[in-house]
């Protein structure tokens, strides 16, 4: 549709994972998945890893006309932060969930900082409102955490090109 590449959110979050001290010190493994229904990235590493920083490689999006008349694509990006715990120890569960909560707050504070620099590249990270939901103790046997969703809007080119049509 256009020559401009859309924002590579997977690489953006991979960079945040690499730079985050909490993630690195606690051996969070970076992976991708295709929605909460599959979580294939964490499941493939479930026997060998204790913590997961998982970016959903699918997203919902909408194309809309902005206030200035230009066209934009808004994508909703989902990131899962999950940590395994000892199912026989409630304190282990609480510690795992607390670590994921803490990491979410660290990531959120970084997204607030990055919002301005990304907008210089015409990538609008909508960090003023980020939905998060905790997964709970019984989400995945011995694993808890949370996921959060953030929207990114970018301009797109919808210029009609008659050379693309047989008329």
Q: Tell me the per-residue pLDDT of 121-144, one tens digit each, with 9 for 90 and over.
A: 888 999 889 999 998 766 667 889
pLDDT at residue 137 in the model: 64
* Site of tokens 């301009």: 155
What's residue 41's pLDDT?
Answer: 52
DSSP letters spanning 101-124: HHHHHHHHHHHHHHHHHHHTTT-E
E strands within 43-85?
Answer: 51-56, 60-65, 71-84
Q: Which residue has the higher pLDDT, 43 or 160?
A: 160
Q: Is 145 left (phi over 0), alpha (psi -120 to 50) or beta?
A: left
Looking at residue 39, what is its pLDDT?
A: 61
pLDDT tops 80 at residue 94: yes
Residue 6: is its pLDDT beyond 70?
Answer: yes
Q: What is the pLDDT of residue 2?
A: 41
Signed CA dihedral, 144, 84, 94, 22: sign only: negative
- Residue 1, pLDDT > 60, answer no
- The tens digit of pLDDT for each residue in 14-73 reads 999 999 999 999 999 999 888 766 665 555 555 678 899 999 988 889 999 988 888 999
Residue bearing tokens 């929605």: 35
The residue among 125, 151, 122, 115 whose CA lies nearest residue 5 is 122
Pick from 46-50, 94-98, 163-167: least confident: 46-50
Residue 119 or 103, more confident: 103
């Amino acid at each position: 549709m256009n020559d401009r590449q859309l924002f590579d959110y997977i690489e953006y979050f991979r960079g945040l994972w690499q730079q985050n001290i909490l993630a690195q010190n606690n051996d969070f493994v970076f992976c991708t998945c295709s929605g909460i229904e599959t979580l294939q990235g964490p499941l493939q590493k479930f026997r060998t890893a204790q913590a997961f920083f998982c970016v959903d490689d699918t997203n919902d999006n909408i194309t809309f006309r902005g206030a200035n008349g230009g066209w934009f694509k808004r994508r909703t990006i989902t990131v899962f932060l999950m940590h395994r715990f000892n199912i026989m120890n409630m304190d282990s569960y609480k510690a795992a969930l607390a670590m994921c909560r803490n990491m979410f707050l660290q990531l959120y504070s970084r997204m607030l900082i990055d919002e301005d620099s990304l907008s210089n590249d015409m990538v609008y990270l909508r960090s003023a409102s980020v939905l998060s939901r905790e997964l709970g103790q019984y989400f995945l046997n011995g694993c808890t955490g949370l996921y959060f969703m953030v929207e990114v809007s970018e301009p797109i080119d919808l210029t009609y090109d008659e050379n693309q049509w047989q008329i």
